[in-house]
Structure 1
Amino acid sequence: MPEELPLNINIKEPRWDQSTFEGRARHFFMVTDPRNVLLGPKVLDEAKNIIVNYRNGVRTPGLTEDQLWRAKYVYDSAFHPDTGEKMVLIGRMSAQVPMNMTITGCMLTFYRTTPAVIFWQWINQSFNAVVNYTNRSGDAPITNSQLGTAYISATTGAVVTALGLKSLTKHLPSLIGRFVPFAAVAAANCINIPLMRQRELKLGIPITDENGNRLGESTKAAKQAIAQVVVSRIGMAAPAMAIPPVIMNILEKRAFLKRNPWMNAPLQVGLVGFCLVFATPLCCALFPQKSSMKVSSLEPEIRDRILAKSPGTETVYFNKGL
């Protein structure tokens, strides 16, 4: 008979060492696997049951260690790490590649006319708002007015940036104009993410000790978390919005695309998708998901409270969000 699965496997943490970039990259290749989008409610609920039962000391009969880790990554792909709630499908990290390749491909294809710029920047920021809300750090609710402010501000910022740069690049080489969508997306990320997570900036995000015991909430940890997410998101968009324009600028001068102009959008979407398959997990891996901060760097009142209870605590940890 097969040996019984031990109950000491730490599935609260990723399977690979998160102190190294390689370990984080392997982890996020699993988390952002687009195939997870196709998993139905039954598969997701089965994975949840396996993980919840295992955490409670109940083994699923016949389960192997590899199957346990597979269940963990299926569970992590669909359920929020702090609240445990099932996330909206298009907001999950596994939906990033298929959603972004379609939206970004169209932004890069239809960038010449003002109505197209406005429409695709609006679509992109609507999608980003869903992703930012779905993957926020902590378990604090966000009000409808905060959601509305973040959404309108990011959309306005993206559209104004795109239209402003579009007008400035009218008399420059066409290749320069192709990079306008990326500049608009980068600017919008700097607006959208902090606004969508403004409650964290005001009230803080949960911080824990190395054993996961909650120590309080910190606004300084929130600032570090949000800054890291902004950098990751801009890095994630960079290859997909910088490499395809160069390739398309060359291809559009060739006879094939001149004879088949309808191939422009599918080619652009495919190129973006190829870049995103690698850029998404690699940029998510730039910073540890379970980020850390020295107790001495926290707000004075939080620092003093922690040191009064546990003088030996030097570092606190928090989920930075994605």
Structure 2
Amino acid sequence: MSITSGESPVLCVNKMEADLSGFNIDAPRWDQCTFLGRVKHFFNITDPRTVLVPERELDWAKVMVEKSRMGVVPPGTQVEQLLYAKKLYDSAFHPDTGDKMNVIGRMSFQVPGGMIITGFMLQFYRWNLGARTMPAVIFWQWVNQSFNALVNYTNRNAASPTSVRQMALSYITATTTAVATAVGMNMLTKRAPPLVGRWVPFAAVAAANCVNIPMMRQQELIQGICVKDGNHNEIGHSRRAAAIGITQVVISRITMAAPGMILLPVIMERLEKLRFMKKVKVLHAPLQVLLSGCFLIFMVPVACGLFPQKCELPVSYLEPELQDAIRAKYGELVPYVYFNKGL
């Protein structure tokens, strides 16, 4: 499979012979200090088509990125080939470890995975506004939170090691708490107006994200997240940095789900009143899944772009003991630290 990544806005590519001298493959194509630049970046790497790229092409992309970093790319390589390789690399490999991420946990899978789960979750509530069965509520929330837990774990800051036991405990705690939240809200809104009932899935998802993400990444909060200086040298671990990163991810995930899960029930309620929609009830569920995908294809990069993935934090905001350790070793040469907040 081949995905055209388009021309670089900062580098002119000679189709016959590209000059790669001075080319830095890790330099962002768009300004990551601006919201628009980050949205463009995430539109590129969360492209759902990358999910279908064969494994051998992903492996080729990793090799090309590594060779470019060493300055030993094959003769005749064009800049646009390297940009395409970097797009595949960023979409499929973890930024901390360089390991290939599982397909379902990648942010590029958020559109196909999220649209199916969100569409059917909302459709279930539409069908069962008058009689929501508890087993069905539990099932769909469990599916959604299991998916979220896998995404949260896959996109964590991988510099904080997590054992299998810790991961299993985090998953059980996160999904159980999330499902309990959804069930409780479902019971509270049984007598609410129909439209309010249709918003229960979003309210449950928003509340569950506040539990699921911190639980799946609790080791970062306990042990601290790896922080580095401007030259990518590790200089310590900070719990405060972890709290900031996780909070930003929670806000991003809720923002990602909000438009589709808030507006779709209103849209479907209007559409259901149309005469031709009453005649094709069998198409209501596929339509809702498709509309969920339309929202997500824009909201995934927009939500991911709310905050920089590489966060900058003043040393003065870190824990006092870490501040002292940094200043004892570097003096005032390191005013800021940097860390990967995850997605």
Match among 295, 315, 320 for residue 336 of structure 2: 315
Structure 2: stretches of 5+ with no match in the other structure: 1-13
Aligned to 1:260: 280
C-alpha deviation, 1:71, in angstroms: 0.7
Structure 1 CA distance for aligned equivalents of residues 334 and 178 of structure 2: 43
What's the CA shift string for 1:205-236, capped at 9, x where partnerless? 11111121111111111111100000000100
Q: Which of 80-89 and 115-124 deviates more? A: 115-124
Normalised by the length of structure 2, the TM-score is 0.90
C-alpha deviation, 1:50, in angstroms: 0.5
For residues 32 and 4 of structure 1, do their structure 2 counterparts lie closer, same or farther at Cα, with a shift above 3 Å needed? closer
SS of corresponding position for 1:321: coil
SS of corresponding position for 2:226: strand
Match among 66, 78, 86 for residue 64 of structure 1: 78
Structure 1 CA distance for aligned equivalents of residues 199 and 180 of structure 2: 15
Maintained 8 Å contact 2:160/2:224: no
Q: Which of 65-74 and 9-18 deviates more? A: 9-18
Aligned to 1:5: 19
Letter in 1 for 2:38: R
Structure 1 CA distance for aligned equivalents of residues 275 and 17 of structure 2: 63
Q: How does 1:131-170 map to 2 (within 5 A)?
A: 131-170=151-190
SS of corresponding position for 2:269: helix
C-alpha deviation, 1:148, in angstroms: 2.3
RMSD of Structure 2 on Structure 1 (CA): 1.5
Q: How does 1:6-85 map to 2 (within 5 A)?
A: 6-85=20-99
Maintained 8 Å contact 1:80/1:86: yes
Structure 2 CA distance for aligned equivalents of residues 167 and 72 of structure 1: 48
C-alpha deviation, 1:154, in angstroms: 2.4
SS of corresponding position for 1:90: coil
Aligned to 1:243: 263
What's the CA shift string for 1:176-222, capped at 9, x where partnerless? 11100011111111111111111111111111111211111111111
Aligned to 2:4: none
What's the CA shift string for 1:82-119, capped at 9, x where partnerless? 11111001101110100000001011011222222111
Letter in 2 for 1:8: G
Q: Which of 86-95 and 169-178 deviates more? A: 169-178
Letter in 1 for 2:341: K
Structure 1 CA distance for aligned equivalents of residues 19 and 240 of structure 2: 41
Q: Which of 109-118 and 82-91 deviates more? A: 109-118
Letter in 1 for 2:218: Q
Normalised by the length of structure 1, the TM-score is 0.96
Maintained 8 Å contact 2:17/2:76: no
Aligned to 2:213: 193
What's the CA shift string for 1:253-306, capped at 9, x where partnerless? 222232222112111111110000111100100000100110011111211111
Structure 2 CA distance for aligned equivalents of residues 9 and 320 of structure 1: 26
Letter in 2 for 1:321: G
Structure 2 CA distance for aligned equivalents of residues 10 and 57 of structure 1: 9
Structure 2 CA distance for aligned equivalents of residues 220 and 9 of structure 1: 35
C-alpha deviation, 1:65, in angstroms: 1.5
What's the CA shift string for 1:5-55, capped at 9, x where partnerless? 324323224211100011100000011100000001111011111000111
C-alpha deviation, 1:3, in angstroms: 4.3
Structure 2 CA distance for aligned equivalents of residues 147 and 224 of structure 1: 21
Q: How does 1:217-236 map to 2 (within 5 A)?
A: 217-236=237-256
C-alpha deviation, 1:140, in angstroms: 2.7
C-alpha deviation, 1:141, in angstroms: 2.3
Q: Which of 43-52 and 299-308 deviates more? A: 299-308
What's the CA shift string for 1:126-145, capped at 9, x where partnerless? 11111111111132321223
Q: Which of 54-63 and 75-84 deviates more? A: 54-63
What's the CA shift string for 1:144-173, capped at 9, x where partnerless? 232223222222222222222222222222
Structure 1 CA distance for aligned equivalents of residues 249 and 168 of structure 2: 21
SS of corresponding position for 1:89: coil
Residue 94 of structure 1 pairs with residue 80 of structure 2: no
Letter in 1 for 2:224: G
Residue 304 of structure 1 pairs with residue 324 of structure 2: yes
SS of corresponding position for 2:24: coil
Q: Which of 32-41 and 3-12 deviates more? A: 3-12
Letter in 2 for 1:223: A
